[in-house]
């Protein structure tokens, strides 16, 4: 690959091979995206059940690829790129499909998109000043909450999970609000890390 | 080229992000034919945003306020603004979901590619095809809101054909720009040199 030169200063990068199981799992998640979008748009119980199964598979592969990369010592430069790319494209696409179904409000997507697009740019800004910001805990929490929120929303649509919480709050609205809040917290966390040592 | 973050062009860039939620709300509220006049307010704000996008780059070059951070912040604000406006248009049912999914996927992917390139000390500036893509996306979304504003919240079939024609041209150039950047990034990393524009 063309990325060899800077592998010397890439941390934890042990493999220049890119045909690895973790990368395959990342790609699988990306390949599943149009199917999940189509199934959620179709909206019939059969389609939503199939979507739910695929969405759970997607979340499991997201957990597995990072874990396997470390366990099998198959961390690759391409994997470092592909894992977050496939992850955000998948999650943002599913949220946008929820928008089409009227399950999420436009302003929430603004926050979610601004965070997912903005964080790599903040890391790029920091890198310009010689500060390397790795994946932070807030980013992992954000990804996990987004995955759980999407699964819960489809479960509510299927009637598996109650549409109203014990307090009377709307389940979908509450879980999506949680997803928005973790996005904001994570954005602030990365912004603080990016500007911390520069002033 | 300056290393400061607080330059006038950067402040203009960040103010574009502040304008996103008002524009999204106006597009959402203006979808009701009773309140279609709000679309004219959206048209004015969108015009200001497009002018400021052109102005910050022009000022940066003209006044020698070009900053390395500006090369990162400008495409970031640009993407958050355009995709958010498209999200509002999808919510109104004025733009097909799949078109915006492809545009968002491209931008999310590019943000991570920029970070990868920066780790090799290459600051990716916008390439001509990328700028052309951004301009066409801006023209397409502006034309759509303008057309609905003229029609008082509805548009005729020929007008829809026309504005969707613009949208699909923007989409085609978006896909083209992916291959253009891939070639550009590959070359830059192989050379180990810089593909920052100095103009």
Query: For the domain that residue A67 is a member of, what is the CATH number?
Result: 1.20.120
CATH number of the structural domain B8-191: 1.20.120.1760
pLDDT confidence of residue B7 = 79
pLDDT confidence of residue B8 = 84
Q: How many domains does chain A have?
A: 1
Does the residue A3 lie in any domain? no
Min Cα–Cα distance to chain B from A85, Å: 5
φ/ψ of residue A133, rounded to 5: -105, 115
C-alpha dihedral (B154, B157, B163, B165), degrees to nearest 10: 160
pLDDT confidence of residue A16 = 56
Interface-testing mutation among B112, B124, B125, B186, with chain A (most A C-beta atoms within 10 A):
B112
Task: Evaluate if residue B180 carries a pLDDT over 90.
Answer: no
- B84/A85 Cβ within 8 A: no
- What is the helix, strand, coil percentage profile of chain A, to 5? 75, 0, 25
> By the 8 A CB rule, do A120 and B114 touch?
yes
Does the residue A128 lie in any domain? yes
Residue A137: half-sphere exposure toward Cβ, Cα within 13 Å:
0
pLDDT confidence of residue A5 = 39
pLDDT confidence of residue A80 = 80
Which residues in chain B touch residue A81, judged by CB atoms under 8 angstroms apart? 112-113, 116
Does the residue A177 lie in any domain? yes
Of A85, A100, A113, which is closest to B112 when you measure between CB atoms? A85
Does the residue A8 lie in any domain? no
Does the residue A10 lie in any domain? no
Taking CB atoms and an 8 Å cut-off, how many pairs form between chains A and B? 121
Report yes or no: A29 at the B interface, CB cutoff 8 Å.
Answer: no
Does the residue A5 lie in any domain? no
Domain that holds residue A52: 15-196
Of B21, B115, B190, which is closest to A124 when you measure between CB atoms? B115
- Give chain A's residues under pLDDT 50: 1-12, 14, 199
pLDDT confidence of residue B172 = 96
Does the residue A9 lie in any domain? no
């Amino acid at each position: 690959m063309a990325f060899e030169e800077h592998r010397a200063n890439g941390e934890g990068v042990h493999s220049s091979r890119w045909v690895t199981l973790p990368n395959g799992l990342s790609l699988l998640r990306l390949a599943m995206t149009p199917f999940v979008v189509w199934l959620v748009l179709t909206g019939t119980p059969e389609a939503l059940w199939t979507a739910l199964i695929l969405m759970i598979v997607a979340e499991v592969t997201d957990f597995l690829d990072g874990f396997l990369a470390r366990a099998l010592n198959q961390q690759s430069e391409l994997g470092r790129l592909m894992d977050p790319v496939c992850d955000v494209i998948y999650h943002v696409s599913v949220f946008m499909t929820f928008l089409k179904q009227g399950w999420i409000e436009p302003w929430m997507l603004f926050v979610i998109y601004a965070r997912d697009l903005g964080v790599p740019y903040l890391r790029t800004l920091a890198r310009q000043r010689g500060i390397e910001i790795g994946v932070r805990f807030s980013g992992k929490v954000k990804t996990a909450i987004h995955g759980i929120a999407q699964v819960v929303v489809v479960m509510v649509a299927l009637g598996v999970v109650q549409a109203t919480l014990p307090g009377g709050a709307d389940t979908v609205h509450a879980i999506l609000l949680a997803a928005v809040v973790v996005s904001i917290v994570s954005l602030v966390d990365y912004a603080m890390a990016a500007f911390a040592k520069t002033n | 080229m300056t290393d400061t973050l607080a330059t006038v062009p950067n402040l203009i860039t960040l103010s574009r992000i502040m304008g996103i939620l008002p524009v999204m709300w106006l597009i959402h509220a203006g979808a009701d034919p009773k309140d279609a006049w709000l679309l004219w307010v959206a048209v004015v704000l969108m015009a200001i945003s497009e002018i400021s996008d052109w102005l910050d780059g022009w000022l940066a070059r003209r006044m020698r306020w070009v900053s390395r951070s500006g090369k990162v912040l400008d495409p970031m604000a640009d993407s958050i603004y355009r995709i958010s406006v498209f999200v509002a248009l999808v919510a109104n049912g004025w733009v097909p979901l799949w078109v915006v999914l492809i545009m968002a996927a491209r931008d999310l992917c590019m943000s991570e590619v920029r970070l990868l390139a920066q780790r090799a000390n290459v600051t990716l500036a916008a390439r001509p095809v990328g700028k052309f893509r951004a301009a066409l996306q801006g023209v397409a979304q502006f034309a759509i809101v303008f057309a609905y504003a003229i029609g008082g919240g509805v548009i005729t079939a020929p007008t829809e054909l026309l504005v969707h024609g613009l949208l699909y041209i923007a989409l085609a150039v978006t896909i083209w720009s992916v291959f253009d950047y891939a070639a550009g990034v590959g070359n830059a990393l192989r050379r180990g040199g810089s593909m920052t524009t100095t103009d």
